[in-house]
């Protein structure tokens, strides 16, 4: 089961970036995860499987966007 990740989560990965930082902000989610290094600002894309393997911890969690409610079945029909 995939790990639940949201845009604006701040994560710590197991491998250090060449700038010396372990911390990244999630910019994009999907089959690939878009990340921005909090040390130097570099943007990278990792396949979700690689991201999940390298993920060490969540430093901060973003609140997920609210899901729109489905229309109720009680509405009047014209």
**Residue 78 has what pLDDT?**
60
**pLDDT tens per residue, range 64-75:** 667 777 776 665
Of 37, 31, 25, 27, nearest in space to 50 by CA = 31
**pLDDT tens per residue, range 23-36:** 999 999 988 999 99
Rounded to two decimals, what is the model's pTM? 0.75
Report domain extents, the chain: 10-60
**Residue 59 has what pLDDT?**
93
Whether the CB-CB separation of 9 and 60 falls below 8 Å is answered with: yes
Question: 7 vs 10, 27, 32, 65, 74, CA distance in Å?
Answer: 9, 5, 12, 9, 35
**pLDDT tens per residue, range 2-50:** 789 999 999 999 999 999 999 999 999 988 999 999 999 999 999 999 9
**Residue 17 has what pLDDT?**
92
């Amino acid at each position: 089961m995939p790990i639940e990740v949201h845009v604006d989560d701040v994560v710590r990965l197991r491998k250090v970036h060449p700038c010396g930082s372990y911390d990244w902000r999630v910019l994009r989610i999907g089959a690939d995860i878009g990340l921005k290094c909090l040390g130097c600002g570099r943007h990278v894309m990792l396949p979700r499987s690689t991201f999940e393997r390298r993920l060490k911890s969540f430093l901060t969690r973003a609140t997920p966007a609210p899901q729109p409610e489905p229309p109720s079945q009680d509405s009047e029909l014209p």
